Structure 1
Amino acid sequence: METSSTSGAASAESIVVENLHKRYGDFEALDGISFSIKPGEIVGFLGPNGAGKTTTMKILTCFMSATGGSARVAGFDVQKDSAEVRRRVGYLPENVPLYDEMIVFDYLRFVAELRGVARARRQERIRAVAELTGLEQVMGRTISELSKGYRQRVGLAQAIIHEPDVIVLDEPTTGLDPNQIIEIRDVIKTIGKEKTIIFSTHILQEVTAVCDRIIIINRGKIVADGSLHELEVRVAKAEPGLVVSYEGEASDALNAWLSNLAGVEGVSEVGGRPGSSTYRLKTLDKAATRRALLAGEPGVARELLSLREAEPTLEAIFRLYTGGETEEGARVEVSVADTSVMSSGGEDVVAQQGDAPVEASSENLNASPSEGAESMVDEAAAMDETSESEEVSRG
């Protein structure tokens, strides 16, 4: 039976997460996170390794149970209606579970059958996803022969072949070269015109190019939620500054002179063109610092090449909200004037009590289509070699 795109409950949100918790023993991977995503939004889910990104996505796609709280996808509760959630979700895990011995066309036909696509529409859907993901030239090739980029395209194709309401992509461009990244990015933007997409990434440029909104998670908590512009404004207020360039190479003497100017609280060297030195000045009184720069003279006579406002970058946003943390938990010193959360999520909700969501079980790889579209997700889970302990370290 073909899957339906009709939601199980009238809702203005495609994804609703409320006070979600996940524990591994004493480790709190998710510490009461809440957010919602509207239909048609493309949301970038950012955070350091181990922050809780993949854990969240596995709960939303019913690969993993939550310890507490609730989540609804396409109007269905991931605990009570996990089969319906799986029918309405397309999922591309970080390690794409593909059958290497199969021909691309046969694999997509197999997925369409498992996903409940009506027999009369299977050929149509295979052609549509092949065209969208750029697979036309490799439809007759064995998956094991494909490059990393084409394997990723096949993973995207299987995630959307049943026309899901919500698409969840975990690191969809990991390991791809710049050209392949651009191609996959274009596919995501095209799909996002009609579908709700949430995807995690470490490539910050992708967020700028693709996303309507950014959610940043750190140590199992949502620390920022808003549009890129909203977060840029907050960073500009938290870390105001100027960028100044001088003729000649950088020197300790020039750095020391800049550090002593009126209003300057910090100086950092940034990349510039050859034969020049460029610095970012953190200053809470930009007017006073500008006057000092224009009126003063460095110890060694240098030509002032440029002076401009420091524009907040996505890297600065990420570092501001994550405190410069790395996977190992080390901290880089970051000056933050205001790290309050910009969240569009609703009120705090008490975690639901009762039975935990059912864990995704491993099914026989030769299961018949009659066992339901959700079996495809279970099969992928069986092929995913990532253990929960590895999940903790990766996020």
Structure 2
Amino acid sequence: MSIEVKNINKTYGKQNALNDVSFNIESGEIVGFLGPNGAGKSTLMKILTTFLPTTEGIAIVNGFDVVLEPKRVQKNVGYLPEHNPLYLEMYVREYLEFNANVHKIATSEIEKVISQTGLASEAHKKIHELSKGYRQRVGLANALLHDPQVLILDEPTTGLDPNQLVEIRALIKGLGGKEKGKTILLSTHIMQEVEAMCDRVIIINEGRIVLDKKLKELTESKQQIIEVEFDYRVEEVALQKINNVSKVENSKGFAYQIYCDTEKDMRGDVFDFAHDNGLKILQLHKKNPTLEKLFIELTSQK
């Protein structure tokens, strides 16, 4: 197991930032970590990188406890924080040499990460002369210097233009996976980022995990939602007796959302239900939940 999070709680005074958060990440997985602002993403990432202590619970990275063995964790983790901290007056190669000395790493590793992150053409420049995309590459190169097994990336594509987005996505995806062996936990607000790079998605809201699934399960899900409005009130339990119905929600008035687990178009079954029970259908729609809709559904304020 590459990352183990067990019943993590984090409080600031009376405020709970994380509430009983638990999940495991296998070696080589690229996991998208989603949530609205203030949900607890950055707090958890700072715990995993030893910048913050837990209030309760255990976090283990590559076999090392973040509280008991922080130095060993730091040797196994490459971290790119949301606000990429760079010394802007330093040259790219100079900055990486400085950090290589901190890590006591051979200078040969500098050329390796420069090549790996596509910085060769910019390595002679000062960091303040670089575009945002290349500054992100410098941050990634720095995170990779000590060849960590785990990469923790907090909003790595914020502020990039479309071309830079494509390049950074390809770079990150190329670092992870079973062949490369690096585990990547990637925080983002952008659903397309997850769909383009990740194997799995974890959604956190108000300090709690509200979804943890393989991306393939979500994109290939047979689930459909039938939105229907009748001319009269119907008990949810009656609608749940329709074949393949997993959940029913009364959205407002006489309108319902019927969740079905089947590839079959369920509108006909709902129409038959209405006919058999003497109901008129005022509206009837079918939709398939996407990751973005699921995110909104799980994180919107009730």
Aligned to 1:161: 145
Whole-Å Cα distance in 2 between the matches of residues 127 and 26 of structure 1? Answer: 48
Aligned to 1:132: 116
Q: Does 1:88 align with 2:65?
A: no
1:66-97 per-position Cα deviation (integer Å, ceiling 9, x unaligned): 11111011110001100111111100000001
Structure 1 unmatched ranges of 5 or more: 1-12, 243-257, 268-280, 293-306, 326-330, 332-395
Aligned-residue offset at 1:112: 1.6
1:190 is aligned, of 148, 152, 174, to 174
> Normalised by the size of structure 2, how large is the TM-score?
0.80
Structure 2 unmatched ranges of 5 or more: 233-238, 240-248, 260-265, 274-283
| Aligned-residue RMSD, C-alpha | 2.8
* Aligned sequence identity (%): 50
2:291 is aligned, of 310, 314, 326, to 314
1:194-233 equivalences under 5 Å are 194=180, 195-231=182-218
1:182-213 per-position Cα deviation (integer Å, ceiling 9, x unaligned): 11110111100320000100010011111111
Instruction: Work out whether residues 259 and 266 of structure 1, in 8 Å CA contact, stay in contact via their aligned partners in 2.
Output: no
User: What's the secondary structure of 1:136's corresponding residue?
Assistant: coil
In structure 1, give the amino acid aligned to 2:296. Answer: R
Aligned to 2:236: none
Q: Which has the higher contact order (CA 8 A, sep 6+)?
A: 1
Aligned to 1:62: 50
Q: Does 1:172 align with 2:156?
A: yes
Aligned-residue offset at 1:55: 0.2
Whole-Å Cα distance in 2 between the matches of residues 320 and 227 of structure 1? Answer: 18
Whole-Å Cα distance in 2 between the matches of residues 288 and 168 of structure 1? Answer: 47
Aligned-residue offset at 1:290: 7.2
Aligned to 1:286: 267
1:44 is aligned, of 24, 32, 38, to 32
User: What's the secondary structure of 1:172's corresponding residue?
Assistant: coil
Instruction: Work out whether residues 96 and 110 of structure 2, in 8 Å CA contact, stay in contact via their aligned partners in 1.
Output: yes
Instruction: Work out whether residues 93 and 124 of structure 2, in 8 Å CA contact, stay in contact via their aligned partners in 1.
Output: yes
Q: Does 1:107 align with 2:70?
A: no
Whole-Å Cα distance in 2 between the matches of residues 184 and 36 of structure 1? Answer: 26
Aligned-residue offset at 1:219: 0.7
Provide closer, same or farther for how the CA distance between residues 266 and 77 of structure 1 changes in structure 2, counting only shifts above 3 A. closer
Q: Which runs of 4+ in 1 moved over 4 A?
A: 258-263, 281-285, 288-292
> Normalised by the size of structure 1, how large is the TM-score?
0.62
Aligned to 2:126: 142
1:291-349 per-position Cα deviation (integer Å, ceiling 9, x unaligned): 89xxxxxxxxxxxxxx9963321111212222x24xxxxx4xxxxxxxxxxxxxxxxxx
Provide closer, same or farther for how the CA distance between residues 15 and 283 of structure 1 changes in structure 2, counting only shifts above 3 A. closer
